[in-house]
Each structure stands twice: as structure tokens, then as C-alpha cells.
Amino acid sequence: MNSEKKPLLAPGHTACAGCGQAIAARLVIDAAGPNTIVANSTGCLEVFTTKYPESAWEIPWIHSLFENSAAVASGIEAALRYLGKKEAINVIAQGGDGGSADIGLQAISGMFERGQDILYVCYDNEAYMNTGVQRSGLTPFHSNTSTSPAGCASYGNIRPKKPMPEIALAHGIPYVATATVAFVPDLQRKVKKALSIKGPKYIQVHVPCPLGWRHAPELTLEIAKIAAETGLYPIIEYENGTLVGVRKITPRPVEDYLKPQGRFKHLFKSPEEIKKIQAIADTNILKYGLAASNKP
């Protein structure tokens, strides 16, 4: 992948050591290539790549606000169409899970509905990290965050993850996929595949956050891998509404995933709560047919 080319996201950015989003963002832009314009929501990625006067980006990049990257990208795409350059140039809108599933959802929905030729990438680190780990719509059940704290009257976040891929799918767009920073070729293939399709595309990438998840920085990729292997983060791919790809797994117990993360520490006092999380994984495994055994 760009083996000899210099990366399009330069070093010297100010992400935390071991930031999963920093890895994924570089993999995505390298897969997209230099003829790409990126509109970025406010969030860690924006902050750690473009603190004036230094930018880590090697491609044309714009940040406006937290909730409007899909709309800004829509304007860029319209401008390129007006200029007759759309065929030659990719437009990517990207943001964190909060900027995508919560405050940015309406702009994304509008962009989907208009059928604009844009790839939206959601870097899912499962909370508002830039502001200090508050819950988002994609924060998993029972996760301990600063606005869904565990306490004597609480086990953490009370709601399951908002099913963003399904919501994107429901819009009837041609391409929807989940990916993870742990499976690099799969992620980059999906980005290229998406960009080869005309119309709105949505990719949601699971990116561990050592700070917010409270795991050792060297475990970033390992934890992402376990997330997929437990079934808690199904790696799936839809084209024109049909499930065309599923990353098969030999399911591991969710404890393997929860254990190394501080955000789930409180659960190990109450095993029955962990069962509930295992149930979520089991549902996913059935729903998407993740178990390798399911293979024909």
C-alpha cells in the first residue's frame, strides 16, 4: 500500500501515542490517493492534524464545524460537478462517531438522500474523545464514560450502540461497510471499492482509543482485533442493500475484549452484567452469521 510513496498523512501530528484513529486515517487517505479532497468534522483527528501553523495533511483538506462535514463535502462535490472535475477527484467526508452518529447525522442523511458522490468515513472510537471521553450514540452498552459513569446506581452507558450501518443502509445507498484498524488490507480494499462506486457510501471503522478506553497503547491493534473476534464489532459489507461480505470468526468470549480496557473494569465485579454483553455478541453472531462454522 503506497509502499514507496510518502504517506498522505504526515508524522508530527499530535495524536496520543497509539491512537487507533491516527492509524486508520492514514490508511484511508493512502488508499484514496492524492486526488482526494477531505472535509473533516471537529474532533480528535481534526485537532491533532491541523493545529495552526502546521498541518499533517498532504491533500486538500477542510474543517468547518463539528456537525457539518457531510454538508461541506456536498458543496465541494457540487462545485466539482459544476467544474466538470467530479470524475477525476474523490470527495471524502469524515468524522468521529459523535460527529457522525449524533450531531452530524442529519447532514449525513441529507447527503445520502441527495445521492451525492461522496464517501463518508466514520472513525468509531465509541465516545467523544476530543472533549474527554463523554458517551456518544456509538458508545457500547455498560461502557464507563464521563457522562455515563459507573456508580452505585449505574453500570455505565445504559443504551446499546446506535445501529449506524443499518441506518445508512435504510437510506438505500449503494455501499455500506464496517471495518477495523486491525484488518488493514480489508479496510483499504473497502475504501477503494467504495470510491469505485458512484453515489453515497458509508464506512465505519473501529478505532481503539488508548486514552478513552484506558488500555495500554501497544494494544491498539490487538484490541481492535479482539473486538471483531468476539462478535462485538461485526465486520460486514453491503452492496446495494445486500450483505456481500462478512468477516468470519471463531467467537472468543467477550471477557477477552473487556478485560484489558479500563472502561469495562467495573463490570468484573458483576459477572451477570458481562453476560448481557456476551448476549449482544451472540446476537450479532447470529444476525450476521459471523461464526466460521456458518461457512458453507
- Residues in the site for its own copies, rule: CB under 8 A? 102-103, 105-106, 109-110, 113-115, 137, 159-160, 162-163, 166-167, 169-172
Task: Decide: residue 166, CB within 10 A, 0-12 exposed, 13-18 middle, 19+ buried.
Answer: exposed
- As a whole number of Å, the CA-based R_g of the chain is 18
Alpha helices for 65-130 (secondary structure H): 69-83, 97, 105-113
**Residue 8 or 211 with smaller CB distance to ligand SF4:** 211
Instruction: Provide, rounded to whole angstroms, the least separation between the CB of residue 143 and ligand SF4.
Output: 14
Question: Which residues have a Cβ under 8 Å from the Cβ of 57 and sit 6 or more positions away?
Answer: 8, 9, 10, 29, 38, 49, 50
Rounded distance between C-alpha atoms, residue 55 and residue 72, angstroms? 19
278 belongs to the binding site for ligand TPP (CB under 6 A) = no
Rounded distance between C-alpha atoms, residue 7 and residue 1, angstroms? 10
210 belongs to the binding site for ligand SF4 (CB under 6 A) = yes
Q: Which of 137, 140, 156, 212 binds ligand SF4 (CB under 6 A)?
A: 212
**Residue 48 or 112 with smaller CB distance to ligand SF4:** 48
The residue assigned the cell 478506553 is 213
Q: Which of 61, 112, 120, 128 binds ligand TPP (CB under 6 A)?
A: 128
Instruction: Provide, rounded to whole angstroms, the least separation between the CB of residue 159 and ligand TPP.
Output: 16
136 belongs to the binding site for ligand TPP (CB under 6 A) = yes
Instruction: Provide, rounded to whole angstroms, the least separation between the CB of residue 132 and ligand TPP.
Output: 9
98 belongs to the binding site for ligand TPP (CB under 6 A) = yes
Contact of 291 with 249, CB cutoff 8 Å: yes
Candidate segments 7-15, 96-104, 145-153, 251-259, binder of ligand TPP by CB under 6 A: 96-104
Report DSSP state, residue 129: T
